[in-house]
Amino acid sequence: MLPATAAALAVLAALLAWPVPALLARAGWPPRDPLVALVCWQALGLAGGLSIIGALLVHGLAPWGASLPEALGAVLTGRPAGTPVRGDHWTTLTLAGVLATELLGVLLLSWVRTARTRRRHRELLELVVQPAALPDARLLEHPAPVAFCIPGARPLLVLSSGMVAELDDAALAAVVAHERAHLREHHHLYLLPFVAWEAALPVLPAAARAHAAVRTLVEMRADDVALASLPGPAPRRTLARAIVVAAGGAGGAGVPSGALAVTGSAVGDRVVRLLQPPAPLPGWARALALLSAGLLLLVPTALLLLPAL
Note the pLDDT tens digit of each residue in 72-108: 999 999 999 999 999 999 999 999 999 999 999 999 9
Note the pLDDT tens digit of each residue in 32-68: 999 999 999 999 999 999 999 999 999 999 999 988 9
Q: Do 120 and 152 contact (CB within 8 A), yes or no? A: no
Burial readout 157-186 (b: 16 or more C-beta within 10 A, e: otherwise): bbbbbbbbebbeebbbbbbbbbbbbbbebe
pLDDT at 25: 94
For residue 6, give the amino acid letter. Answer: A
The rounded distance, in Å, linking the Cα atoms of 212 and 186 is 18
pLDDT > 90 fraction of the chain, expressed in percent and rounded: 80
Residues 139-149 have a mean pLDDT of 93
pLDDT at 136: 84
End-to-end CA distance of the chain: 13
The rounded distance, in Å, linking the Cα atoms of 299 and 280 is 29
Query: In Å, how far are 27, 137, 189, 190, 270 from 195, measured between CA atoms?
Result: 22, 27, 10, 10, 22
**Mean pLDDT computed over every residue of the chain:** 92
pLDDT surpassing 80 at residue 249: no
Return the higher-pLDDT residue of 2 and 287.
287
Note the pLDDT tens digit of each residue in 212-228: 999 999 999 999 999 99
Note the pLDDT tens digit of each residue in 100-135: 999 999 999 999 999 999 999 999 999 999 998 888
Element (H, E) at 287: helix 283-305
Note the pLDDT tens digit of each residue in 160-179: 999 999 999 999 999 999 99
Residues in the chain: 309
pLDDT at 264: 66
